[in-house]
Amino acid sequence: MSDSVSLPLGAMEDVRRENEKRARRGEPLGVFVLTFGCQQNEADSEKLLGLASMMGYRPVETPEEAALLLVNTCAVREHAEKKVLSIIGGLQHHKKKNGALIGVVGCMAAEEHRLEELKKSYPYVDVTLDPASLARLPEAIAKRLSGGGRSFLRTEEATLAEGIPPCRRDSRRASVSIMYGCNNFCSYCIVPYTRGRERSRSAEAILSEVRALAEGGAREILLLGQNVNSYAGECDFATLLSRLARVDGDFIIRFMTSHPKDVSDRLIEVIGREEKIAPAFHLPLQSGSDRILRAMNRRYDTARYLATVDKLRAARPGIVLTSDIIVGFPGETEEDFEATLNVLRTVRYDMVYSFLYSRRRGTPAATMEGYLSEEVRADRMRRLLDLQTSISAEIGKTYEGRTLRVLVDGPSKNPELYSGRTEGGKLVHLKATPADVGEWKTVHIDRADAYAMYGTVKESEDTK
Helix (H) or strand (E) holding 443: strand 440-448
Q: Which residues make Cβ contacts (< 8 Å) with residue 205, sequence separation at least 6?
A: 162
CB atoms < 10 A from the CB of 171, how many? 12
Residue 352: the pLDDT is 98
Q: Which residues make Cβ contacts (< 8 Å) with residue 129, sequence separation at least 6?
A: 103, 104, 105, 106, 109, 136, 137, 140, 153
Q: What is the CATH number of the domain that holds 422?
A: 2.40.50.140
From residue 203, how far is each of 166, 200, 235 by CA, in Å? 18, 9, 7
Residue 104: the pLDDT is 96
Look at strands 127-129 and 151-153 and give their pairing: parallel
Q: What is the CATH number of the domain that holds 34?
A: 3.40.50.12160
Residue 161: the pLDDT is 72
463: in domain: no
Residue 370: the pLDDT is 96
Residue 343: the pLDDT is 98
The answer to whether residues 195 and 75 belong to one domain is: no
The answer to whether residues 416 and 437 belong to one domain is: yes
Residue 5: the pLDDT is 61
Which tens digits make up the pLDDT trace of 53-92?
A: 999 999 999 998 899 999 999 988 888 888 899 999 989 8
What is the total count of domains within the chain?
Answer: 4
Residue 155: the pLDDT is 78
The answer to whether residues 198 and 271 belong to one domain is: yes
Which tens digits make up the pLDDT trace of 49-64?
A: 999 999 999 999 999 8
462: in domain: no
The DSSP secondary-structure symbol of 65 reads G
Domain end position, chosen among 96, 123, 157: 157
Helix residue ranges, H only, 316-371: 334-347
Closest CA to 228 of 40, 35, 424: 40
What burial class does residue 266 get, using C-beta atoms within 10 Å of its C-beta: 0-12 exposed, 13-18 middle, 19+ buried? middle
Residue 411: the pLDDT is 95
Residue 8: the pLDDT is 80
450: in domain: yes
Its pTM stands at 0.92
Residue 158: the pLDDT is 58
Residue ranges of the chain with per-residue pLDDT less than 70: 1-6, 156-160, 460-464
The answer to whether residues 55 and 116 belong to one domain is: yes
- Detail the DSSP E strand segments found in 188-335: 199-200, 220-224, 252-256, 280-282, 320-327
CB atoms < 10 A from the CB of 29, how many? 19
The answer to whether residues 358 and 426 belong to one domain is: no
Residue 460: the pLDDT is 57
The answer to whether residues 269 and 288 belong to one domain is: no
352: in domain: yes
464: in domain: no
Q: Which domain holds residue 432?
A: 403-457
The DSSP secondary-structure symbol of 76 reads S
Q: What is the CATH number of the domain that holds 234?
A: 3.30.750.210
The answer to whether residues 41 and 183 belong to one domain is: no
The answer to whether residues 12 and 151 belong to one domain is: yes
442: in domain: yes
The answer to whether residues 287 and 378 belong to one domain is: yes
Domain end position, chosen among 115, 136, 157: 157
Supply φ then ψ for residue 455, to 5 degrees. -140, 175
162: in domain: no
Decide: 179 and 200 in contact? Cβ < 8 Å. yes
